[in-house]
Amino acid sequence: MRLATIRTTEGTRAVRIDDDSAVELGHPDLGALLRRPGWRAEAASADGPRHALTAVDYAPPVPSPEKIVCVGLNYRNHILEMGRELPEHPTLFAKFARAQVGAYDPVVLPAGSDAVDWEAELGVYIGAEVRHATPDEARAAIAGYTVVNDVTARDFQYRSPQWLQGKTFEASTPVGPWLVVPDEADTDERQPLARELTCAVDGELMQKADTGDLVFDPAALVAYISQIVTLVPGDLIATGTPGGVGHARKPPRYLTEGSELVTRVEGVGECRNTLVRG
């Protein structure tokens, strides 16, 4: 089951994406749906107004999450690429909701940056409130998966030891186009998701990895983060990026105005965005 938030002339609407249409679920966005007990059954049985898929305008699946928690240095090959050792604990930072854009929206180049980089990532949405979660509780709290690109202003990121200032420029982070529930993404409970993740820039493949290469998988991240803060429905976790980022290339390569950025997770979805000046 694929669930999304679309833009209409009357505002945003939560929808289920069927083979030939987007079916309204009776809520303004997926954040509102995920806060309801039994949201899975409600979404599966909904039979509201329908929209042709050819006319759908995708917003970020949860336009205003309470939290966007991001993970750095979480792919083994990327850690080695950056000359670091495997971490004992996840490296966490945050984004704000205004950083998000939809799966096909323009991405605004961070003003004042000459080092804008790509970071293809698997996104994980929370579907139940959890605090101090066990591994089983953490897995059960996962609402589904999405596609994220953590577009980063490297020059701002490395102005200080804290990464936030390079990570949360407004309208810089594609998310979507939808949320895929776990039973459709993968049925192997030992590995919540093991799929190919890719990023292409102007048709050239830059990143390719298997999400099974994550040091900390989605359930482990939910369990760890829930030790620090209560995770609530609609929260988004960006699980980290593999090797192949532009900053690590010799010479470095960055995104520029007009660049086409395509981010894909096998079995989950694809974001396709063009870089524009703000």
Tokens found for residue 145: 């998966």
Domain boundaries, given as residue ranges, for the chain: 1-59, 62-277
- Write out pLDDT tens, residues 28-85: 999 999 999 999 999 999 999 999 999 999 999 999 999 999 999 899 877 776 677 8
Q: What is the pTM of this model?
A: 0.95
In tens, the pLDDT along 76-87 reads: 877 776 677 889
Angle (CA) 212 213 214, round 5°: 90
Q: For 62-277, CATH number?
A: 3.90.850.10
With 60 as the cut, is the pLDDT of residue 167 above it? yes
CATH architecture, domain defined by 1-59: Roll (2.30)
Tokens of 199: 């990023």
Peptide bond into 110 cis (omega under 30): no
Give the span between the Cα atoms of 138 and 128, in whole angstroms.
9
3-state SS track over 185-213 = HCCCCCCCCCCEEEEEECCEEEEEEEHHH
Q: What would the mean pLDDT of 142-153 be, rounded to a whole number?
A: 97
d(CA 118, CA 166): 12
